[in-house]
Amino acid sequence: MRKYDHLFFDLDNTLWDFDTNSKLAMFETLKQSEVLRRLPSFEQFFEIYEPINQTLWDEYHAKRITKQALIVERFSQSFQYFGISGLNWAELNSLYLTNMAFQTRLFPGTIETLTSLKLKGYKMHIITNGFIEVQHDKLKNCGLDGFFSKVFISEEIQTTKPHRQIFEHALKSTNARKNKSIMIGDSWETDIVGAQNFGIDQIVFLNHGSNRLPVDIKSIRTTPTNSFLELSPRTKTWFIDELKDLIAIL
């Protein structure tokens, strides 16, 4: 008898290769808006943009800034570094999200793994903090939409991971029980800690070390062959380097 019935996946940087796709989309955006020629190079711009964007997303997840602030500040702060101001940041962001939806790079083994899990009868769903304008199109354009029964987008539910309300909403909407559900994601802070606090098991997608673990967790997980840790009395935390490793757990 299998342990889980419902699999809740993160999308960005778990199935959909956000780092690669976002960089491709940004290059197209700057080229199409004709602002690229005003920069010393695209690579220099992206090196400045990435940490600014990540910091703002952390603030958004913590509900300390609004979506509109994130949209404006990630572009205004990045371009300010190069002495560029006065652009229509909302329009630039809209073009960027449009370009994002057409990027289709997935992590190796994504389609094959999801196909196998679907054939085994698992009910699969998405829980994502991404923006509503682009997440459904991303799923459709890269061929993932047919695998998932429900897609839960933080903006629609008006709360983000790691807050328990989004997990509670997802389980209620799918009639899933906690002890028969598991969360699969790349972000320790949003996917894993959020699911731990809510009381469901989790699988951390490490992508061969590209997705970081907290130092204290690394010290507990003494060897790369440790399959899981029991970090709380209620839940189990599994670790995988590749998506195909899900088959051995589920």
Q: Can you give the pLDDT at residue 222? A: 65
pLDDT at 174 over 80: yes
pLDDT for 223: 67
Q: Which domains can be identified in the chain, with CATH numbers?
A: 6-17+106-249 (3.40.50.1000), 19-101 (1.10.150.240)
Among 5, 12, 19, 186, the active-site one is 12
- Residues 151-165 have pLDDT tens digits of 999 999 999 999 999
pLDDT of residue 225: 64
- What's the pLDDT at 228? 86
Read off the pLDDT of residues 104-152 as tens digits, 9 standing for 90 and up.
Answer: 999 999 999 999 999 999 999 999 998 898 999 999 999 999 999 999 9
Q: pLDDT (tens digit, 9 = 90+) per residue, 59-99?
A: 998 889 999 999 999 999 999 999 999 999 999 999 999 99
Q: Does the annotation mark 17 as catalytic? A: no
* Annotated catalytic residue 5: no
Q: How far apart are CA 103 and CA 43, in angstroms?
A: 19
At 207-245, the pLDDT tens digits run: 988 888 898 888 887 666 668 888 888 999 999 999 999
> Catalytic one among 5, 10, 17, 186?
10
Q: What is the pLDDT of residue 236?
A: 95
